[in-house]
Structure 1
Amino acid sequence: MEQILTINNLTKKFGYLTAVKDLSFTINKGNVYGILGPNGSGKSTTLGIVLNVVNRTSGQFSWFDGKTSTHEALKKVGAIIERPNFYPYMTAQQNLKLVCKIKGVDYAKIDEKLEIVGLLDRKDHKFRTYSLGMKQRLAIASALLNDPEILILDEPTNGLDPQGIHQIREIIKKIAANGTTILLASHLLDEVEKVCSHVVVLRKGEKLYSGRVDEMINSHGFFELKTDKEDELVKLLESDTSFGKLKIDNGLITAFLNQPMDASSFNKLMFEKGIVLSHLVKRKESLEEQFLQLTDNN
């Protein structure tokens, strides 16, 4: 697989504080990567290092084939790591023309990128009239002007209302569907679960996990169950090695699976044992539950 960014044993210290500690991971072409962690986990510092705005203490990183200088590589990168910085008295189109001049990009790209972020009909409106969500979408259009191979976004939905969050997430999916690799930092588990294929989980600058989102923990999910024969059902589940942890709360039994099992097979098994279920739902553990398991074990 073609590599876009390789990070090896990266460390960054600010005096006595270690913001990033011995971090290694690889980003391959065509995927959407999330760097996930609470505030202060080293996400923004890591992005700052690979974008040449923060000096590393030790370790290495390389772009693309490893032979391209960072300066040259960054010409193929689009990034938003701070709040959008446009002239408020100028229109969206005028602001993007300035960016085109700086990047050496044809003005013809402007309408194409505004179309992607849903702002083409607002291109002649002044930046100061834009909502926060529109400003963020314009920043994405600006970062796309040079047709980057990778788009880097630091907390892209911070401060937005639910509609704004949804619009940004849909735009990210659309950009990824066109083949652009995306790396986004977020403290929102929901964001990573909805838009990312891969995730790097950080806590206090250290990597807890790196890999596919759907393989973050090899979970078989769980059943939510209700029945009139609660005691019988609990005994049966406790004696069956297919099930692990059980939780009982106000008549709702949550049974975690140790191995794959579908709801219809389980329902049939219960019926054969004389237990009629009034409620049966199979669920997958959310990224949040998996994340808590990861951080609890460290």
Structure 2
Amino acid sequence: METILSIRNLHKKYGRVHAVNNVSLEIEKGNVYGILGPNGSGKSTTLGIVLNVVNKTSGDYAWFGGKMQTHDALKKVGAIIERPNFYPYMTARQNLELVCKIKGAPYSKVAEKLELVGLIERQDSKFRTFSLGMKQRLAIASALLNDPEILILDEPTNGLDPQGIHQIREIIKKIAAQGTTILLASHLLDEVEKVCSHVLVLRKGIILYSGRVDSMLEGQSFYELAAVEMRSLREALRDYPETQSVEEQDGRIILRTKNSVRPDEINRFLVSRNVYVTHLVRRQNTLEEQFLELTK
């Protein structure tokens, strides 16, 4: 797998504040990476460093296997790290044509990218008439005009209403499906869980987890049970050899086990104790629950 960006032992200090503390990350072609963390966790600073707009304190990073200098490599990168900034009196199409002129991209890309972000019907509308969500979609179209190999987005849905959030997430999925690598910073767990294949969890500049989203959730399942005789169910589960913990929540019993067990094994044990369940469902911890566990 081709490596798009390699970050090694990156540090950034602002006086006594260690904004980025020994961060390492490998971004491989074709994946969607999320940098997840609360405000002040070092997400934007990390992006700023690799985009050459923030000076690092120490460490290193290399684009495309170090085969080219950062200045040349960034020509193959599309990025939105600030609020969209276009000329308000110009139309969407005119603004993008101006970006094409700056980037050396053909004007034919304008209609193609406006279609991709769902703004082709508003191409002749002035930028000042656009909603915040439309402005953000136009910014994504602008970042894609040179067909970058990687798209970097800093809090792409920040400040948007639910409809705007949904539209941006669907666009990100569509861009990823076309083979573009994506790196996005977000404090929204739901966003990362829905669109990212990989996640880097940061808190106060320090990595708490780095890897696949599904691996982060792996092995974090539990069982939800109910029976007519809840007391008998609770007592039987406490005697179950694989039980790690038993607790009651909202009229259901939550069973966490020491090892992975099948539902039929639990049911067989309960029947041997003359306990018959009316509800037995395997659940998976959400990314939010895992994130809270990591950051508590």
Q: Deviations over 1:146-179 (max 9, x none)?
A: 0000000000000011111011001000100110
Letter in 1 for 2:295: T
1:104 is aligned to: 104
Instruction: Summarize the Cα distance change of 1:278–1:67 in structure 2 as closer, same or farther, 3 Å threshold.
Output: same
- Alignment of 1:81 with 2:77, yes or no, is no
Letter in 2 for 1:55: N
User: Whole-Å Cα distance in 1 between the matches of residues 250 and 48 of structure 2?
Assistant: 49
Q: TM-score, normalised by structure 2?
A: 0.96
Deviation at residue 59 of structure 1 after TM alignment: 0.5
2:277 is aligned to: 277
Q: Do the aligned partners of 1:220 and 1:258 also contact (CA within 8 Å) in 2?
A: no
User: Whole-Å Cα distance in 1 between the matches of residues 270 and 237 of structure 2?
Assistant: 10
2:51 is aligned to: 51
User: Whole-Å Cα distance in 1 between the matches of residues 257 and 173 of structure 2?
Assistant: 32
Letter in 1 for 2:164: G
- Alignment of 1:143 with 2:161, yes or no, is no
Letter in 1 for 2:117: V
Please give the secondary structure, in 2, of the residue aligned with 1:56.
coil
Letter in 1 for 2:148: P
2:133 is aligned to: 133
Q: Do the aligned partners of 1:220 and 1:257 also contact (CA within 8 Å) in 2?
A: no
Q: Deviations over 1:53-110 (max 9, x none)?
A: 0000000000012121000000000000000000111110000001000100000001
Please give the secondary structure, in 1, of the residue aligned with 2:66.
coil
Q: Do the aligned partners of 1:224 and 1:252 also contact (CA within 8 Å) in 2?
A: yes
User: Whole-Å Cα distance in 2 between the matches of residues 169 and 135 of structure 1?
Assistant: 15
Q: Do the aligned partners of 1:219 and 1:285 also contact (CA within 8 Å) in 2?
A: no
Please give the secondary structure, in 1, of the residue aligned with 2:292.
helix
Aligned length: 296
Deviation at residue 25 of structure 1 after TM alignment: 1.2
Q: Do the aligned partners of 2:200 and 2:210 also contact (CA within 8 Å) in 1?
A: yes
Bigger CA drift: 279-288 or 173-182? 279-288
1:252 is aligned to: 252
Bigger CA drift: 108-117 or 274-283? 274-283
User: Whole-Å Cα distance in 1 between the matches of residues 116 and 268 of structure 2?
Assistant: 49
Q: Do the aligned partners of 2:236 and 2:273 also contact (CA within 8 Å) in 1?
A: no
User: Whole-Å Cα distance in 1 between the matches of residues 111 and 241 of structure 2?
Assistant: 60
Aligned pairs for 1:200-239 (under 5 A) are: 200-239=200-239
Instruction: Summarize the Cα distance change of 1:268–1:167 in structure 2 as closer, same or farther, 3 Å threshold.
Output: farther
Q: Do the aligned partners of 1:201 and 1:208 also contact (CA within 8 Å) in 2?
A: yes
Please give the secondary structure, in 1, of the residue aligned with 2:84.
coil
Please give the secondary structure, in 2, of the residue aligned with 1:191.
helix
Please give the secondary structure, in 2, of the residue aligned with 1:216.
helix
User: Whole-Å Cα distance in 2 between the matches of residues 116 and 241 of structure 1?
Assistant: 55
User: Whole-Å Cα distance in 1 between the matches of residues 148 and 133 of structure 2?
Assistant: 22
Deviation at residue 272 of structure 1 after TM alignment: 4.7
- Alignment of 1:21 with 2:21, yes or no, is yes
User: Whole-Å Cα distance in 1 between the matches of residues 258 and 90 of structure 2?
Assistant: 59
Q: Do the aligned partners of 1:42 and 1:204 also contact (CA within 8 Å) in 2?
A: yes
User: Whole-Å Cα distance in 1 between the matches of residues 89 and 285 of structure 2?
Assistant: 48
Q: Deviations over 1:98-135 (max 9, x none)?
A: 10001000000011111111111111111111111111
Q: Do the aligned partners of 1:23 and 1:207 also contact (CA within 8 Å) in 2?
A: yes
User: Whole-Å Cα distance in 2 between the matches of residues 107 and 272 of structure 1?
Assistant: 73
Aligned pairs for 1:157-172 (under 5 A) are: 157-172=157-172
User: Whole-Å Cα distance in 1 between the matches of residues 222 and 101 of structure 2?
Assistant: 55
Q: Deviations over 1:212-256 (max 9, x none)?
A: 001115424111211122222222222224332222134321112
Unpaired runs of 5+ in structure 2? none
- Alignment of 1:189 with 2:189, yes or no, is yes
Q: Do the aligned partners of 1:220 and 1:260 also contact (CA within 8 Å) in 2?
A: no
Letter in 2 for 1:213: V
Q: TM-score, normalised by structure 1?
A: 0.95
Q: Do the aligned partners of 1:149 and 1:181 also contact (CA within 8 Å) in 2?
A: yes
1:7 is aligned to: 7
Letter in 2 for 1:36: L
Letter in 2 for 1:16: R
Bigger CA drift: 154-163 or 277-286? 277-286
- Superposition RMSD in Å: 1.4
User: Whole-Å Cα distance in 2 between the matches of residues 245 and 140 of structure 1?
Assistant: 47
User: Whole-Å Cα distance in 1 between the matches of residues 210 and 119 of structure 2?
Assistant: 35
Deviation at residue 265 of structure 1 after TM alignment: 5.0
Please give the secondary structure, in 1, of the residue aligned with 2:65.
coil
User: Whole-Å Cα distance in 2 between the matches of residues 124 and 100 of structure 1?
Assistant: 17
Q: Do the aligned partners of 1:37 and 1:201 also contact (CA within 8 Å) in 2?
A: yes
